[in-house]
Amino acid sequence: MRGKATTSLRPLPAPAPPPPPPRLFFFFFPFFFFFFLPASGTQALAPSAAAGGSREERTDGPAVAWQRPLRQRRRQERAERRPRAGAPSRPVPAARRARAGAMLQEESDLSLVIAQIVQKLKGSTLYAQLERQAWASLQRPEIKLESLKEDIKEFFKISGWEKKLQNAVYSELSVFPLPSHPAAPPEHLKEPLVYMRKAQGSWEKRILKSLNSMCTELSIPLARKRPVGEQKELLNKWNEMGTDEPDLSLFRPVYAPKDFLEVLINLRNPNYENGDSLSFRTHLGLIQVPLKVKDIPELKEFFVELGLTTGQLGIDDSTQVPPELFENEHVRIGQKVLAEQDSAAAQQYIRQGSPTALRAELWALILNISSQPEDILYYEQLKTNVIQHDLLVDSLIYKDVKLTASNDDYYFVFEDYLYQVLLCFSRDTSVLGHFAYNSASPPKSYIRGKLGLEEYAVFYPPNVAPLCFLYHEPSKLYQIFREMYVRFFFRLHSISSHPSGIVSLCLLFETLLQTYLPQLFYHLREIGAQPLRISFKWMVRAFSGYLATDQLLLLWDRILGYNSLEILAVLAAAVFAFRAVNLMEVTSLAAAEAVLADLSTLKVMPLLQIFLFATVT
């Protein structure tokens, strides 16, 4: 017969809580503690007691007698580790404190992001629609008072409104500023580097000075209200503005791409001293700003879907798999993505290229654009503003389109659309919202006491022209162009340190050439033909007007898919690599420009794949 155990029994500690759920479900985190954790340590002991007596009694059997010394030693070690009453607590290791601090910071940043997105969506049309649907759902018989919240959420899920909200949040995250310190002032959210902000401010003053001097020389106002007769005339020829031939000889361009390039070349960080000594790692390009850019291995990882083993639209050289099989399957998947109306899935899908028949719908889904009646009404209001008021930029837009798209073999047929979209764009005050994360500041003009008319729009290159191939409704075309601009293209015309900004793109282009094509880079540098002076105009216009239209749209597919403009710099470097043999024979800048004058015959995807995945690193 066993004797009574002399050692006192200690209740087993409660099992450790389960790992936290994914952060996306943090709203439901408290419920885990109610449903999955034991109420106390005694409940955790219940299975042991039911198995046959106390823990001490079960461990004294002959079958497990050999375990007794080991268990006693473990209990003694635990008792020694347990802090005594009144004893000072052990200091928490620095690494653990750092991890805890990082987790708290991440949670704080996430809460801030959620609050800002919620605040922004509250002013949207979607919020009003969701509110109306929620009120309307209360009349449905399946909505119960005791489970009101869950029933409404289920209704939103079944009716498709949850997907629309998800797409709206995803769209906001795509343009959300890079993370920064919570106490950072607003100007740091626009641009964290002081010298970049100063350079952008100086550039804006230069542009405004040019505009004001033009107004003084020509004795014309920045803005005026059109006479009634002029309003009627413009309204009658709204769809045929391309036939108008106004005298614009006195209007001069405010700046050319080479002027903007000179500003970027002169950028310097006053806190950085590179020294006079040259080494193999010294950057010998025109951009002398110390920014972090990706190298080939990092670009391979980022653009992994462009790899040689992944099917791509725009490449027809596969001998093992007929292109028709991949294209048919890709179209089938694309139709399924459109049926699901999932913006994130569409963005992932388009990284392999978009079928021509599905491109317009896929781009609209990624950019979260839908043709609602209020959107058409908003476009009509912008059209009314154009008809009623005349801005200086209207004449500059006319001249810009006449000099570019009107003489282009691909885009001349869309001249009327270009006028309509760009003139409305110059009146759209909603565009001002992107200046919250843009280093630039919007110049404003007064029209009878009204503020907020952005005049910077005229100086943008005609990136709207390729979109005319996809959208034939002016209101839909306008929405797509506006969203493309405020998400991507504005970074090509402002000075910032953003990875997709024009400064970083120029630095990435020069770094790729100097690192992976050093002989070509040094040869062009020695003859005074710095590669950036040739490629800058390609990147600042996102290759619009240089590539064939089908190739340009394939390139822009990848811009949307990766939510990045870095592919522009990679393609520019790939073009130089493709023409390297001819470029090694030139002896002047003019000869180098002649070699690279025509890009209309190039195929985008083979160039990108060869440069990224066939380059020895």
Backbone φ and ψ for 223, nearest 5 degrees, come out as: -150, 145
| Domain count across the chain | 3
The average pLDDT across 133-150 equals: 81
Q: Which two tokens stand for residue 286?
A: 């025109």
Rounded CA separation 566/498 (Å): 11
| pLDDT band per the 50, 70, 90 thresholds, residue 298 | very high
215 within some domain: yes
Domain that holds residue 159: 103-174
Rounded CA separation 79/74 (Å): 9
**Do residues 224 and 201 both lie within one domain?**
yes
Q: Which tens digit of pLDDT belongs to each residue from 411-432? A: 767 778 888 888 888 888 877 7
Residue 505's pLDDT is what? 96
264 within some domain: yes
**Do residues 243 and 265 both lie within one domain?**
no
**Do residues 242 and 382 both lie within one domain?**
yes
**Do residues 582 and 606 both lie within one domain?**
yes
480 within some domain: yes
Residue 319's pLDDT is what? 54
Residue 63's pLDDT is what? 43
Instruction: Choose one of 139, 174, 209: the last residue of a domain.
Output: 174
33 within some domain: no
**Do residues 397 and 539 both lie within one domain?**
no
Rounded CA separation 509/569 (Å): 5
**Do residues 483 and 377 both lie within one domain?**
yes
End-to-end alpha carbon distance in the chain: 78
**Do residues 234 and 285 both lie within one domain?**
no
**Do residues 251 and 397 both lie within one domain?**
yes
**Do residues 472 and 499 both lie within one domain?**
no
**Do residues 243 and 379 both lie within one domain?**
yes
Backbone φ and ψ for 295, nearest 5 degrees, come out as: -100, -175
Rounded CA separation 254/382 (Å): 24
| pLDDT band per the 50, 70, 90 thresholds, residue 458 | very low
538 within some domain: yes
Instruction: Choose one of 442, 462, 490: the last residue of a domain.
Output: 490
Rounded CA separation 468/411 (Å): 8
**Do residues 267 and 247 both lie within one domain?**
no
**Do residues 507 and 424 both lie within one domain?**
no
Residue 50's pLDDT is what? 38
163 within some domain: yes
Element (DSSP H or E) covering residue 402: helix 392-403
What CATH code is carried by the domain that includes residue 520? 1.10.472
Residue 276's pLDDT is what? 53
Residue 85's pLDDT is what? 52
344 within some domain: no
Instruction: Choose one of 490, 514, 530: the last residue of a domain.
Output: 490
309 within some domain: yes
pTM to 2 decimals?
A: 0.75
* 197 three-state secondary structure: helix
